[in-house]
């Protein structure tokens, strides 16, 4: 037997529903508390709109609720969660025979919020690349790190791709770098003039001074002569970002984002940028048009 909608207020149905999901679905107390809060927000909205009966809620009401949440500056992820909770509640009401029609759309009308990547300005890139010169490392390591930062930015490489580079992957004549990217796909990416200059000095002068340099083909060596690890590269970028006054939220990928953003700002074709970054889908590269406003 289903519930009779008359003689029972909306809050009573919510209590019954919460008891149902807590027992039947085995949700944690924290999750149930979230359901209480989300449904409470909806009830407050209905009260504000002077809707006193669940049977009077229709799709226009639901759309109004979403607009109300957006107007209150709720995050999209929070709005999507509230909509999902509301969908479950109304589906239960229909199953229990309280309502014959579910007014909540089956598909979410809220698109998932896309987090736009942070990128550095040209001036910030210069400050970051120059920052090793402010450190107390031996000169050979400072020059190595300048070359590393130049290459990360000028070629838009992933940290794993830089980690895997060997000396033979760099072609100074064509100003390109051969990269093995995701899925072991090989591609060529660009080597800017500044990166070419610093890399040539590092390879021909500074790298030769690192211990056991001749025992490895790795492009970037640690001071012990082994391939510079991914973690070490990440830590170096973070260290120099702080030294340059750029804060704690600059990572290796920030330089990749900056590379792509500056290319598009300069008028580069989206497909060209996609190829240089090694993206398999243009939709992945498309995010940079949102960052730049192109």
3 noted as active-site residue:
no
257 noted as active-site residue:
no
Residue of 182, 223, 231, 242 marked catalytic: 182
Residue of 238, 256, 257, 262 marked catalytic: 256
Quick one: angle between helices 282-292 and 270-277, nearest 10? Answer: 120
Q: Is 177 exposed, middle or buried (0-12, 13-18, 19+ CB in 10 A)?
A: buried
**Are the C-beta atoms of 150 and 195 separated by less than 8 Å?**
yes
253 noted as active-site residue:
yes
Query: Cα-flanking dihedrals φ and ψ of residue 94, to 5°?
Result: -70, -45
Residue of 20, 91, 187, 253 marked catalytic: 253
20 noted as active-site residue:
no
Q: Who contacts 111 (Cβ-Cβ below 8 Å, separation ≥6)?
A: 76
158 noted as active-site residue:
yes
271 noted as active-site residue:
no
DSSP notation for 201-235: HIIIIIGGGSTTGGG--BSSB-TTSSBPPHHHHHH
Residue of 82, 87, 158, 196 marked catalytic: 158
**Are the C-beta atoms of 233 and 263 separated by less than 8 Å?**
no
Please give the Cα distance from 268 to 113 (Å, whole number): 26
Catalytic positions are: 158, 182, 253, 256, 279, 288
């Amino acid at each position: 037997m289903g519930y009779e909608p008359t003689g029972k207020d909306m809050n009573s149905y919510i209590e019954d529903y919460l008891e149902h999901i807590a027992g039947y679905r085995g949700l944690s107390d924290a999750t149930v508390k979230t359901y209480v809060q989300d449904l409470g927000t909806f009830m407050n909205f209905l009260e504000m709109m002077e809707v006193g009966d669940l049977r009077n809620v229709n799709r226009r009401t639901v759309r109004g609720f979403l607009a109300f949440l957006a107007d209150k500056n709720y995050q999209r992820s929070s709005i999507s969660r509230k909509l999902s909770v509301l969908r479950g509640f109304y589906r239960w009401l229909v199953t229990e025979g309280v309502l014959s029609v579910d007014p909540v759309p089956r598909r979410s009308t809220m698109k998932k919020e896309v987090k736009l990547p942070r990128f550095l300005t040209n001036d910030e890139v210069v400050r970051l690349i120059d920052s090793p010169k402010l450190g107390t490392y031996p000169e050979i390591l400072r020059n190595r790190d300048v070359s590393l930062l130049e290459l990360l930015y000028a070629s838009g490489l992933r940290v794993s791709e830089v980690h895997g580079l060997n000396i033979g992957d760099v072609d100074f004549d064509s100003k390109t770098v051969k990269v093995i990217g995701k899925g072991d796909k090989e591609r060529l990416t660009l080597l800017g003039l500044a990166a070419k200059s610093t890399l040539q000095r590092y390879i021909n002068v500074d790298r030769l001074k690192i211990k056991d340099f001749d025992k490895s083909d790795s492009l970037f060596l640690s001071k012990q002569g082994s391939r510079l690890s991914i973690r070490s590269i990440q830590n170096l970028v973070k260290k120099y970002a702080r030294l340059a006054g750029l804060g704690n939220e600059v990572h290796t990928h920030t330089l990749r984002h900056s590379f792509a953003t500056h290319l598009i700002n300069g008028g580069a074709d989206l497909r060209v940028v996609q190829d240089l970054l090694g993206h398999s889908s243009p939709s992945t590269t498309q995010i940079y048009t949102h960052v730049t406003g192109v």
